[in-house]
């Protein structure tokens, strides 16, 4: 759940800074879990959805309409983020790129185009399965020789994504791993102390081989 909880924290921070409902662009929403999380969390916190969200749009090369349509997206664009048309613009405040960049054939090109969009003070939250930088090229070669079941074709690291953002003139607000170890189905996942340890580890070792979340702004 950290892949949704951590971006939501930044959503709340940006909302408090901007002082108005945020315009959100979510690239590669999958089954809409990020929006589901945000809707539930806002309700628990006693914040009205439209009090915090001015518009929540989705962009996906092949959107899962059956899953996404009931969730209340303001618009769902069927668009390949790696092939944005010339002159494409979007004035979002927050762009969510959660577990999508590893599907790009050329992450440098695709992310650079997306990082050029948004308002002058736009924030970008990127999440992806992470690799140690020194193993990235070997791992990417293996992925492209036999793509895994998730359709991953690119191996991303903390250093690689930071370099792309830096070349686009963005500043990194946070770089972290989401956990030390994921133990799906284990009783550990329900322990507060285990959760806090994972968050502590991820902040201490942002380059860790797990999942990363990086936050950028102009």
| Torsion from C-alpha of 205, 212, 7, 44, nearest 10 degrees | -70
Average per-residue pLDDT in the chain?
94
Q: Please tell me the number of Cα atoms within 13 Å of 117 on its side-chain side.
A: 25
Element (H, E) at 72: none
Q: What is the mean pLDDT of residues 81-102?
A: 93
Residues comprising the chain, all counted? 218
Residue range 117-129, pLDDT digits in tens: 999 999 999 999 9
For residue 149, pLDDT beyond 80: no
Indicate the pTM of the whole model: 0.94
Q: How far apart are CA 206 and CA 218, in angstroms?
A: 21
Q: Which domains does the chain have, with CATH numbers?
A: 2-217 (3.40.50.150)
Where does residue 169 rank: exposed (0-12), middle (13-18), buried (19+ CB within 10 A)? exposed
pLDDT of residue 86: 81
Name the H helices within 87-191.
Answer: 107-115, 136-145, 158-167
pLDDT of residue 147: 72
Position 205 confidence tier, pLDDT thresholds 50, 70, 90: very high
Position 151 confidence tier, pLDDT thresholds 50, 70, 90: confident
Q: What is the mean pLDDT of residues 126-155?
A: 90
pLDDT of residue 55: 98
pLDDT of residue 152: 92
Position 76 confidence tier, pLDDT thresholds 50, 70, 90: very high
Q: Which two tokens stand for residue 94?
A: 């927050």
């Amino acid at each position: 759940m950290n892949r949704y909880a951590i971006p939501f924290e930044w959503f709340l921070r940006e909302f408090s800074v901007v002082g108005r409902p945020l315009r959100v662009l979510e690239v590669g929403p999958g089954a809409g879990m990020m929006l589901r999380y945000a809707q539930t969390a806002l309700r628990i916190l006693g914040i009205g959805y439209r009090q915090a969200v001015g518009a929540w749009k989705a962009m996906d090369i092949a959107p899962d309409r059956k899953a996404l349509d009931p969730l209340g997206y303001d618009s769902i664009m069927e668009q390949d983020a790696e092939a944005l048309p010339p002159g494409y613009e979007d004035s979002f405040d927050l762009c969510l790129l959660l577990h999508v960049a590893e599907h790009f054939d050329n992450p440098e090109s695709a992310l650079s185009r997306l990082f050029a969009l948004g308002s002058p003070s736009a924030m970008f939250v990127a999440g992806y399965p992470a690799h140690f930088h020194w193993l990235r090229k070997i791992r990417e070669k293996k992925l492209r020789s036999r793509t895994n079941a998730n359709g991953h074709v690119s191996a991303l690291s903390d250093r690689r994504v930071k370099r792309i953002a830096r070349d686009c003139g963005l500043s990194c607000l946070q770089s972290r791993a989401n956990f030390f170890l994921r133990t799906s189905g284990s009783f550990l996942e329900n322990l507060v102390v285990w959760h806090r340890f994972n968050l502590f580890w991820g902040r201490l070792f942002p380059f860790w081989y797990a999942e990363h979340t990086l936050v950028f702004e102009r």
